[in-house]
């Protein structure tokens, strides 16, 4: 029963890692760059969602739409300002610092223009846990059973839907094929008449929009604050490395692995070591299978 | 334009008349502990406004020099040097964070400028006596040893629990609290059945509370700050474990009360001041004035506000007794106050002595219990 409770915590946490990790995958597969400000886009989503939903009282679906719009526009700006210049100059690594810088700017902006405190984001589905698997004790009272927050179920459902939707889009539509072609070979795809700039732009917009949605989804479980995305961004990055940077399924598996290992280690080993197994596996993978669990080994033809 | 000119003239005319008593106030006004810092500063401001409206101290106006230390240790040191060298303050009030205090108070001690610590529970105060008998650091706040002792007393002596579990964050504050809680338990020949740890920004404490429950704990003693303590309360609700939660004054922070919601009900903590307990006229006036002036109801961190308010009045009483603003004379007056000091946090007969600079003792402390979004005075249980 206890372990089951921990698994639920771990899975919900893992799906959040997976969602952000998926955002890393999307831009990597089209442009071979990573958007290191995703964690802070998640924060921006949480904060803007908080302002719209809690402060202004907009309905939840309207909040989601607003956050998606902000995320998409933010992604486009990020690409134009931070990533494209360094790609154009063939400066292979300028975008690393540039995207990190955008993340820092986002966080500081939230601290200055919004608040430095932590706030409670009320779940649209209610904040009381659903009780499962309760049984009658001999003295006639109900046992506590499992406590699951409705929001956790929402996170799992929405995350899986987003990942499945994007993967299906990539595999079964013409646009999806174009994306895959660009990720396979940018220059040849261009020669075939695919506008690779458009593909890269939409991949950035999609990844930041997903991160912003993730922010609204996690906010009721965590708290909303200007620093809520910092740790999540790093954990999600390791999740996507564990799973393999090019694989959508890999992001989910990597995220779940991290989330579950954290919960179980905290309980059965020590709370101080809860991050250790994930990072040990990360290092082992980097040593023996650098492309990740589900990644294809990169073969460079010269 | 006219109005601007008028302002300039007013300032020019007014400035020389204000041969002011400068008092430095520092604390975190931004960042994670901003709630405590801002409330402390507001409390001091409220006191300064009242004092100036009634003619100031020794006929001079009080001028506050306010600085944001951002809860950063090195900023604390810089600000203190600015207070001493540039602003030439008469005394200093603040700060919130233990590290900030310990990085800055020694400068004040060297320069013989009194500091009245009005929030930090862990900062060095009486420890300075070992180096120099002339100690300029005072405190009007419940120090950690007192808070931990009262916490354990409530759990073990009053509520008769036998198997306490400790849950503390991994900062200096949390781990210092853990060591002192363990010492207070050891004094009663008891040991915690489980000692757990969590990090700042952790939001799911399910593993920790499960482990505490599995160890057979009958009470949780917690030491951390608002948001993480709220996560502990929420995780207790999640696993469906109803257990008393007792801990430091941070359980009275809005960050705990708001984020824990109904799950925070019943959390108990020793406090110097309880906003909901306005049995005294002085306390009621303070709370009402604060609500009005800062448009904040309830007060985010009422304890910090009340201690900030009291710290300036305490300084005023000492300066008036010394009839001087020289650091040395203020120190001697503080160590030997002729009249009892009547503050909103309590009445202090001789709050300080030449060998003890801690104003707050168990007498001033009340047990606060979180109830439906505010803190009320605890009723002795059992």
CB atoms B32 and A116 under 8 Å: yes
Among A229-238, B5-14, B200-209, B301-310, the minimum mean pLDDT is found in B5-14
**Which residues in A lie closer than 8 A to residue B34 (C-beta atoms)?**
116-117
Local confidence band at A268 (pLDDT 50, 70, 90 cut-offs): confident
CB atoms B203 and A223 under 8 Å: yes
Burial of B19 (0-12, 13-18, 19+ CB in 10 A): exposed
pLDDT of residue A176: 85
Compute the nearest-CA separation of B202 from chain A (Å). 8
pLDDT of residue A118: 82
Cis peptide before A45 (omega within 30 of 0): no
**Which residues in B lie closer than 8 A to residue A144 (C-beta atoms)?**
239-241
CB atoms A118 and B238 under 8 Å: no
Average pLDDT of span A246-253: 87
Among chain A residues, the shortest Cα distance to B30 is held by A116
Q: Which residue has the higher pLDDT, A223 or B188?
A: B188
Compute the nearest-CA separation of B176 from chain A (Å). 17
CB atoms B207 and A131 under 8 Å: no
Q: Is the model's pLDDT at A147 over the cut of 80?
A: yes
Q: A 226-255 residues with CB below 8 A of B?
A: 227-228, 231
**Which residues in A lie closer than 8 A to residue B170 (C-beta atoms)?**
272
CB atoms B210 and A227 under 8 Å: no
Of the candidates B197, B238, B259, which has its C-beta nearest A129's C-beta? B238
CB atoms A263 and B196 under 8 Å: no
Q: For B316-353, give one letter per residue: b (16+ CB within 10 A) or e.
A: bbbbebbebbebebbbbbbbebeeebebbbbebeebbe
Number of Cβ within a 10 Å radius of residue B111: 15
Local confidence band at A301 (pLDDT 50, 70, 90 cut-offs): low
Q: Is the model's pLDDT at B264 over the cut of 70?
A: yes
Best mutation target among A147, A149, A220 (most B Cβ atoms within 10 Å) is: A147
pLDDT of residue B179: 94
**B→A interface, C-beta within 8 Å:** 30-32, 34-35, 170, 196-198, 201, 203-204, 206-208, 210-211, 214, 226-227, 230, 237-241, 255, 258-259, 261
Asked if the domains B2-142+280-363 and B145-271 are classified in one and the same CATH topology, the answer is: yes
Q: Is the model's pLDDT at B17 over the cut of 50?
A: no
Local confidence band at B18 (pLDDT 50, 70, 90 cut-offs): very low
- pTM of the complete model: 0.82
Domains of chain B, residue spans: 2-142+280-363, 145-271
Local confidence band at B116 (pLDDT 50, 70, 90 cut-offs): very high
Of the candidates B204, B239, B255, which has its C-beta nearest A13's C-beta? B204
Q: Is the model's pLDDT at B380 over the cut of 60?
A: no
Q: Which residue has the higher pLDDT, B363 or A144?
A: B363
Q: Is the model's pLDDT at B60 over the cut of 60?
A: yes
Best mutation target among B169, B199, B238, B264 (most A Cβ atoms within 10 Å) is: B238
CB atoms A118 and B259 under 8 Å: yes
Local confidence band at A302 (pLDDT 50, 70, 90 cut-offs): low
> Candidates 1.10.10.10, 3.30.420.40, 3.40.50.2300, 3.30.360.10; correct CATH number of B145-271?
3.40.50.2300
Among chain B residues, the shortest Cα distance to A232 is held by B201
Paired strand residues for B60: B57
Number of A/B CB contacts below 8 angstroms equals: 76
CATH no. for B2-142+280-363: 3.40.50.2300
Q: How far is CA A168 from CA A71, A172, B228, in A?
A: 22, 6, 40
Give chain A's length: 302
Local confidence band at A300 (pLDDT 50, 70, 90 cut-offs): low
Q: Is the model's pLDDT at A259 over the cut of 70?
A: yes
Q: Is the model's pLDDT at A189 over the cut of 70?
A: yes
CB atoms B31 and A116 under 8 Å: yes
Average pLDDT of span B43-55: 95
CB atoms A231 and B35 under 8 Å: no
Q: Is the model's pLDDT at B11 over the cut of 80?
A: no
**Which residues in A lie closer than 8 A to residue B198 (C-beta atoms)?**
271
DSSP assignment letter at A185: -
CB atoms A271 and B197 under 8 Å: yes
Show the tokens assigned to A163.
């990942």
CB atoms B240 and A118 under 8 Å: no
Contact A8, A265 (CB under 8 A): no
Q: How far is CA B16 from CA B10, B58, B156, in A?
A: 11, 17, 59
pLDDT of residue B152: 96
Domains of chain A, residue spans: 2-7+14-129+147-229
Among A217-231, A269-283, A285-299, the minimum mean pLDDT is found in A285-299
Mean per-residue pLDDT of chain B: 90
Number of Cβ within a 10 Å radius of residue B171: 18
Average pLDDT of span B146-164: 95
Among chain B residues, the shortest Cα distance to A117 is held by B32
**Which residues in A lie closer than 8 A to residue B237 (C-beta atoms)?**
128-129, 147
CB atoms A5 and B259 under 8 Å: no
Spatial distance between the Cα atoms of B94 and B304, rounded to a whole number of angstroms = 10
Please list, in sequence order, all residues whose beta carbon lies within 8 angstroms of the beta carbon of residue B281, skipping any fewer than 6 positions away: none
Q: Phi and psi (nearest 5°) for B295?
A: 50, 50
Among A69-73, A113-117, B194-198, B352-356, the minimum mean pLDDT is found in A113-117
Q: Is the model's pLDDT at B381 over the cut of 50?
A: no
CB atoms B237 and A129 under 8 Å: yes
The conformational region for residue A213 under phi > 0 = left, psi -120 to 50 = alpha, else beta, is alpha
Helix B206-214 with A248-268: angle, nearest 10 deg: 30
Show the tokens assigned to B350.
């001789």
pLDDT digits (tens, 9 = 90+) for B213-236: 999 999 999 999 888 999 999 999
Among chain A residues, the shortest Cα distance to B202 is held by A222
Q: Is the model's pLDDT at A241 over the cut of 50?
A: yes
Among chain B residues, the shortest Cα distance to A221 is held by B203
Q: Which residue has the higher pLDDT, B255 or B115?
A: B115
Among residues of chain A, what percentage have pLDDT more than 90?
36
Average pLDDT of span A66-82: 94
pLDDT of residue B2: 63
Best mutation target among B72, B207, B259, B260 (most A Cβ atoms within 10 Å) is: B207
Average pLDDT of span B123-129: 91
Of the candidates B203, B206, B239, which has its C-beta nearest A144's C-beta? B239
pLDDT of residue B167: 95
């Amino acid at each position: 029963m206890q372990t089951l409770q921990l698994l639920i915590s771990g899975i919900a946490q893992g799906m959040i890692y997976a969602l952000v990790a998926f955002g890393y995958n999307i831009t990597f597969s089209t442009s071979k760059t990573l958007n290191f400000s995703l964690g802070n886009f998640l924060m921006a989503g949480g904060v803007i969602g908080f302002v719209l939903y809690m402060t202004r009282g907009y309905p939840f679906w309207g909040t989601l739409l607003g956050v998606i719009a902000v995320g998409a526009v933010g992604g486009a700006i990020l690409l134009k300002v931070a990533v494209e210049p360094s790609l154009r100059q063939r400066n292979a690594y300028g975008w690393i610092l540039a995207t990190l810088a955008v993340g820092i700017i986002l966080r500081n902006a939230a601290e200055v223009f919004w608040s430095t405190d932590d706030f409670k984001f009320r779940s649209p589905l209610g904040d009381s846990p659903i009780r499962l698997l309760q049984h009658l004790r001999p003295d006639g009272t109900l046992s506590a059973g499992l406590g699951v927050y409705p929001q956790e179920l929402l996170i799992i459902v929405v995350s899986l839907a987003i990942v499945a939707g994007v993967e299906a889009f990539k595999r079964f539509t013409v646009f999806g094929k174009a994306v895959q072609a660009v990720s396979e070979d940018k220059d040849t795809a261009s020669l075939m008449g695919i506008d690779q700039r458009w593909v890269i732009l939409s991949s950035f917009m999609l990844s930041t929009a997903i991160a912003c949605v993730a922010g609204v989804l996690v906010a009721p479980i965590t708290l909303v604050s200007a620093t809520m995305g910092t740790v999540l961004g790093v954990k999600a990055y390791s999740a996507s490395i564990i799973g393999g940077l090019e694989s959508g399924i890999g992001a989910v598996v990597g995220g779940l692995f991290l989330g579950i290992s954290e919960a179980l280690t905290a309980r059965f080993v020590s709370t101080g070591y809860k991050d250790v197994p994930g990072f040990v596996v990360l290092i082992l993978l980097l040593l023996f299978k650098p492309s990740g669990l589900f990644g294809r080994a990169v073969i460079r033809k010269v | 334009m006219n109005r601007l000119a008028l302002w300039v003239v007013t300032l020019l005319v007014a400035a020389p008349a204000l041969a002011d008593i400068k008092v430095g106030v520092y604390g975190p006004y931004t960042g994670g502990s901003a709630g405590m810092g801002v409330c402390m500063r507001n409390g001091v401001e409220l006191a300064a406004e009242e004092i100036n409206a009634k003619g100031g101290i020794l006929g001079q106006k009080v001028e506050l020099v306010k600085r944001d230390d951002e809860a950063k240790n090195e900023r604390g040191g810089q600000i203190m040097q600015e207070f001493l060298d540039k602003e030439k303050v008469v005394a200093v009030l603040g700060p919130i964070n233990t590290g900030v205090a310990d990085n800055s108070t020694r400068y004040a001690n060297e320069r013989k400028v009194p500091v009245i610590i009005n929030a930090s529970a862990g900062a060095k105060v009486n420890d300075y006596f070992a180096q120099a008998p002339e100690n300029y650091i005072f405190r009007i706040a419940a120090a950690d040893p007192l808070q931990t002792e009262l916490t354990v007393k409530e759990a073990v002596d009053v509520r008769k629990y036998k198997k306490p579990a400790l849950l503390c964050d991994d900062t200096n504050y949390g781990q210092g609290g853990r060591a002192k809680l363990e010492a207070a338990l050891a004094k009663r020949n008891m040991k915690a059945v489980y000692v757990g740890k969590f990090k700042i920004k952790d939001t799911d404490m399910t593993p920790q509370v499960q482990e505490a429950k599995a160890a057979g704990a009958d009470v949780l003693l917690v030491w951390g700050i608002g948001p993480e303590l709220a996560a502990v309360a929420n995780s207790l609700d999640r696993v469906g474990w109803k257990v008393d939660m007792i801990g430091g004054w941070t359980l009275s922070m809005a960050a705990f009360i708001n984020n824990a919601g109904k799950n925070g009900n019943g959390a108990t903590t020793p406090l110097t001041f309880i906003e909901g307990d306005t049995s005294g006229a002085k306390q009621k006036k303070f709370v009402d004035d604060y609500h009005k002036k800062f448009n904040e109801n309830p007060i985010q961190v009422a304890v910090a506000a009340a201690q900030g308010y009291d710290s300036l009045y305490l300084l005023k009483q000492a300066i008036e007794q010394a009839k001087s603003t020289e650091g040395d004379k203020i120190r001697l007056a503080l160590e030997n106050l002729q009249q009892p000091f009547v503050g909103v946090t309590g009445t202090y007969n001789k709050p300080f002595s030449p060998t003890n600079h801690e104003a707050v003792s168990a007498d001033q402390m009340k047990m606060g219990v979180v109830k439906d979004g505010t803190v009320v005075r605890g009723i002795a249980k059992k």
